[in-house]
A = this chain, B = another copy of it.
C-alpha cells in the first residue's frame, strides 16, 4: 500500500476567519499571514537559509468539511455553471484534499508565544489551516513564463471599485484597512451570484463587513464586531 499519513508542520494565522472572502488563488490579496510551527517542528535550524528566497510554496490541507471528492466540479471562475474535471481545476473536492499556494516571504520573526515563525504575504488559506510542507520557490524549475492557463486564460479577473464610507472605514484598525480593501477589490462574492440587491456579510480579522455590489461598485454598508470571533482563539 502506498498510503501516506502526513502531519502538520505548521498552521497559518491570519484574518481570514471564515471561507467567505478568501481570494480564489494565492497572491491576489495583500493580506499578511503568520506561519506558526507546531511545537515538534519549532527548530530554527530547519529554516537556515530560507530568508534568501523571495517566495515559498505551501502544501496544505483543505478543510474536512469539503467532504467527498467529485470527478467533475464547477469552478467559480467559469461562472459556476460549467463542469470541469477535478484534475483540471484547483478545486478542494479532490481525492486527496491537498492545497498548493505560493506566497511571498516577508520576514522571519521571533515570537514570544510561538517561537520562530514566518511572515508571508498573499496566502489564500483560512486561519488555522494545517500546513504539511514548506518549500522554497525555485524560479528555474517552477516559473514557466510560456505556460498557458487553459480555460482560465479567457476569463478576466473580476475586480470591482470599492466604496468604503470614511465613517465606516474608521471602525477598522488602521493596519487592517489596506488588506481589507484588497480583499474587497477582488469581489468576494461567489462568481455565480450577481444578485444586485443582496447584502453580503464577510468576517475578516474580528469584524463583520456588510456590503452590496451594484454595477461594478462594491459599497460597504456596515462594520461591526464579529460576534463569533475570539482573538487568538484556537
On A, residues with C-beta under 8 Å from B are 2-9, 11, 25-28, 41, 43-50, 52-55, 57, 59, 61, 71-72, 83-90, 94-98, 100-102, 130, 132-152, 157
Contacts and interface: CB of A to CB of B under 8 A. Distances in A.
Contacts of A46: 71-72, 85-87
Contacts of A47: 85, 87-88
B144 A102 contact: yes
A25 B137 CA distance: 12
Q: Which 8 A-B pairs have the closest CB atoms?
A: A52-B150, A48-B85, A50-B88, A25-B141, A49-B88, A6-B96, A53-B150, A45-B71
Interface residue SS majority, chain A:
mixed
Contacts of A83: 48
Contact of A96 (B7, B44, B143): B7
A210 B224 CA distance: 71
